[in-house]
Amino acid sequence: MRWAAFPLAVVLGVTAGCRTLPPAGQTPQQLNHTMSYWLYLPDDYHRPPRQRWPLLLFLHGSGECGTHLTAVLKHGPPQLAHEGRKFPFLIVSPQCPSNQGWSVPELNRLLDHVMARYRVDKDRVYLTGLSMGGYGAWALAAANPQRFAALAPICGGGDPATASRLRNLPIWVFHGAKDKAVPVQKSIEMVDALKVVGAKVRLTFYPEAGHDSWTQTYNNPDFYDWLLRQRRK
């Protein structure tokens, strides 16, 4: 599957019952004045047949924390969507407040909200994140493995003691071999622990990459093809 670039849609609301839903494309959203996030809807989301869509939850790194939501557009899927890339799934890209880590309860509330409001295929919810977001992705998946169809942490780390909770979740881990911000050993420890419990895990090293192992990953069409092949069991 290849991803073509097109201009973003004009921002116009679409009415569904008594609710006005965002248009196709990427728009800023707010959850109960506690969390801001970007929401991407595919071009065909509002067109019949009114199917259910896969969803990708993206967690950014520490450099994008704060109150200016545009910072989240710096890397990863929200950056690509902002540049006009088209995706056949919803993308939810929240912003973490400054001086905090990702909160599992807050992320669960966000997912509950989005999945209740939009037509999401509950068996095709995917989780990814980079750096601090990689740590957050490991933690959220370990706390709620039943929510996700696949996990893709990039240059992050987790708790090897949680590996048994993740044994049934397809996982693809990415890390730069020359990463000085988050040692590659953090990913190796998780992968080794997962292999011990028989998990379905794969690891991709970028031999010449430093901390930025996400650009190659998120620009790779094979990554999205792999995600979309996964379904919750």
> Can you tell me the distance from the alpha carbon of 93 to that of 76, in angstroms, rounded to the nearest whole number?
10
- β-strand 90-94 against 35-41: which pairing, if any? antiparallel
The pLDDT value given to residue 123: 98
Q: How confident is the model at residue 5 (pLDDT cuts 50, 70, 90)?
A: very low
31: alpha, beta or left, given left = phi > 0 and alpha = psi -120 to 50?
A: beta
Mean pLDDT of 10-17: 45
The pLDDT value given to residue 18: 44
CATH no., domain 25-229:
3.40.50.1820
> Can you tell me the distance from the alpha carbon of 55 to that of 31, in angstroms, rounded to the nearest whole number?
17
Longest CA span, the chain = 53
Domain limits of the chain? 25-229
Q: Where are the alpha helices (DSSP H) in the chain?
A: 76-82, 104-117, 132-143, 185-196, 214-218, 221-229
Average pLDDT, rounded, for the chain: 92
Per-residue pLDDT of 188-230, as tens digits, reads 999 999 999 999 999 999 999 999 999 999 999 999 999 999 9
CB proximity list for 14: less than 8 A, separation 6 or greater: 20, 21, 22, 23, 46
> Can you tell me the distance from the alpha carbon of 145 to that of 151, in angstroms, rounded to the nearest whole number?
9
Contact status, residue 145 vs residue 74, Cβ threshold 8 Å: no
The pLDDT value given to residue 32: 82
Per-residue pLDDT of 110-164, as tens digits, reads 999 999 999 999 999 999 999 999 999 999 999 999 999 999 999 999 999 999 9
